Chain A
């Protein structure tokens, strides 16, 4: 990249530096690689997948893995490889939608609570505590069940459950950031509360949010798959990993490939996000950065 160009664009320069540091961190590379492969499969599933993921072909029911069907076929004769590839798109979409929604809401709530303090802080954080006091899967299940089984409802339920995680982290950071002298300097120059929250507090909490978002992505995919597994998320015939395992469970004794491949994909995706998140936490730590 041209040095003169990056000197005019500080954000780009910082991003390039972060990427450069990341590229020297082996676990970051491994995590990014796994997620990259998953994302690539998901986005190009229409072109790459050898078969239609939902077309029924009863003559090829429950074929074991072989040259025709690398991962075998299911009880309707659908190609499991094609279904798993399309499933990557669904799972990643769920993950990113949930994290985007929960991350933005949670960060704003947390920043407002931490920065404004006092009664508002108390009120917001007690509500968050109530949500946090339920196991996330159970609460998501209850919410999804109450709203009725559909993929969109599952997304909303999981997002709701994830909000307090972001709120809590950002609030903690906001408490530290608001004591910084540059906040006092902003006040002296006449900045109002919301201006400070959006321009100072939130940007300075972003490192933690990015790390948490990455780790949460893995967890979200797992919860979403669990919801689909019990029939509250994606509805058949959608090739969702959790839903596939749910059906494949019945055949697991004789047709091991049916539940195994979606399971492995869930496993790799979650591991990928987790090691990338851990690596990001190290890399974004300003103390070791320079």
Chain B
């Protein structure tokens, strides 16, 4: 599979949310959920986007899907700026970027049968009709390990893992190039999670999809990703290829994240409380480096200046004052 040609490129993406609408229509306060985030998702490659709640990782995904309107920056699909496209051009791109959500039950309409759920991306666009829809749906169900006897059932008649397969089938039917996987396995049990991760992996091998895999689980992201970006409070603090990141994590937050994830190894008990405090709310972003109130290696400069992104190796960028740009 030829890996490498960029499918989605995000440059300096900014997204603000209004916290309060203000009094009598005066502008209220804003929170910056995503601050100048840049990403590159290549064909046949999985980019893991890791972060805790409030880090803005899902907001980045929703901007790429055009579910949210970005407040700044650009998103390119196959080199074309989405913002510069008109309605008709956008319509042709619809379906080329697809999504699979975290909760497999609430992402399927409980009132629709599997045939309608999986088939409706086709019926909506009116490209395909009648019996052909059923054929295509069936082909997709087979692709994700389901079959003909599942066509006329409702989502609640399936187990969590099967529902996530249905979600995959719906995403695949429009022949997308990029699929955003928003915590696709975190609502599933371990044994089912393994099945779904294997499926996700196999589909990429077969079709060369570009994945944006959003998760908080480092073990999962380590298993599935080729490259990883770590987000904290709307900012990418470190990005590298998977092996580089796990062999040489540089940002103190990345290290803390790795250290506090419980490992299934009872012979080496970890000190789990490596990072004090809670992730601060994005409404009150600390000045300087956003991580400094929780950082163990905080310096004076961290409280004043936001660190720039520094390239410390070919495929390794980090935003921390410990690694000054030279």
Q: Assess whether A200 is in contact with B109, with CB atoms less than 8 Å apart.
A: yes
**B39 → chain A closest CB, angstroms:** 18
Measured between beta carbons, the chain A residues less than 8 angstroms from B106 are 180-182
Contact with B along A176-190 (1 / 0, CB 8 A): 000011101111111
Chain B residues 101-142 with CB under 8 Å of chain A are 101-103, 106-113, 117, 120-121, 124-125
- From B95, B102, B109, B156, A189 is in contact (CB under 8 Å) with B95
Q: Assess whether A190 is in contact with B103, with CB atoms less than 8 Å apart.
A: no
Q: Assess whether B120 is in contact with A186, with CB atoms less than 8 Å apart.
A: yes
**A171 → chain B closest CB, angstroms:** 18
Instruction: Please classify how large the interface on chain B is, using the bins under 10, 10 to 19, 20 to 34, 35 or more.
Output: 20 to 34
Q: Assess whether A182 is in contact with B124, with CB atoms less than 8 Å apart.
A: no
Task: Tell me if A285 is interfacial: C-beta within 8 Å of chain B.
Answer: no
Minimum CB distance partner of B176 in chain A: A188
**A180 → chain B closest CB, angstroms:** 5
Assuming the contacts A180-B106, A181-B107, A204-B110, asked whether A189 and B120 have C-beta atoms less than 8 A apart, the reply is yes
Q: Assess whether B94 is in contact with A181, with CB atoms less than 8 Å apart.
A: no
Complex Cα distance A190/B102, Å?
A: 20
Complex Cα distance A178/B121, Å?
A: 18
Q: Assess whether A191 is in contact with B124, with CB atoms less than 8 Å apart.
A: yes
Task: Tell me if B170 is interfacial: C-beta within 8 Å of chain A.
Answer: yes
**A241 → chain B closest CB, angstroms:** 38
Q: Assess whether A188 is in contact with B107, with CB atoms less than 8 Å apart.
A: no
Minimum CB distance partner of A192 in chain B: B124
A interface, by DSSP: helix, strand, loop or mixed? helix
Task: Tell me if B99 is interfacial: C-beta within 8 Å of chain A.
Answer: yes
- From A195, A204, A290, B109 is in contact (CB under 8 Å) with A204
Task: Tell me if A135 is interfacial: C-beta within 8 Å of chain B.
Answer: no
Minimum CB distance partner of B116 in chain A: A199
**B151 → chain A closest CB, angstroms:** 9
Assuming the contacts A10-B152, A204-B109, A204-B111, asked whether A185 and B124 have C-beta atoms less than 8 A apart, the reply is no
Measured between beta carbons, the chain A residues less than 8 angstroms from B97 are 188
Instruction: Please classify how large the interface on chain A is, using the bins under 10, 10 to 19, 20 to 34, 35 or more.
Output: 20 to 34
Chain B residues 60-109 with CB under 8 Å of chain A are 62, 65-67, 91, 94-95, 97-99, 101-103, 106-109
Q: Assess whether A189 is in contact with B94, with CB atoms less than 8 Å apart.
A: yes
Measured between beta carbons, the chain B residues less than 8 angstroms from A186 are 120, 124
Measured between beta carbons, the chain B residues less than 8 angstroms from A181 are 101-103, 106-107
Task: Tell me if A66 is interfacial: C-beta within 8 Å of chain B.
Answer: no
Task: Tell me if A46 is interfacial: C-beta within 8 Å of chain B.
Answer: no
Task: Tell me if A20 is interfacial: C-beta within 8 Å of chain B.
Answer: no
Measured between beta carbons, the chain A residues less than 8 angstroms from B120 are 186, 189, 191, 199
Contact with B along A1-35 (1 / 0, CB 8 A): 00000011110001000000000000000000000
Complex Cα distance A238/B233, Å?
A: 73
Measured between beta carbons, the chain A residues less than 8 angstroms from B121 are 189-190
Q: Which 10 A-B pairs have the closest CB atoms?
A: A190-B94, A189-B121, A181-B107, A203-B111, A181-B101, A182-B109, A10-B152, A191-B124, A10-B113, A188-B99
Given contacts A182-B108, A189-B174, 6 further A-B contacts (CB under 8 A): A10-B153, A185-B167, A186-B124, A188-B94, A189-B95, A190-B91
Q: Which residues of A contact B (CB under 8 A)?
A: 7-10, 14, 180-182, 184-191, 195, 199-200, 203-204, 206, 286, 290
Return 21 A-B CB contacts under 8 Å, by A number: A10-B113, A10-B154, A181-B101, A181-B103, A181-B106, A184-B65, A185-B99, A185-B167, A185-B170, A186-B120, A188-B98, A189-B120, A189-B174, A190-B125, A191-B120, A195-B124, A199-B112, A199-B120, A203-B111, A204-B111, A206-B111
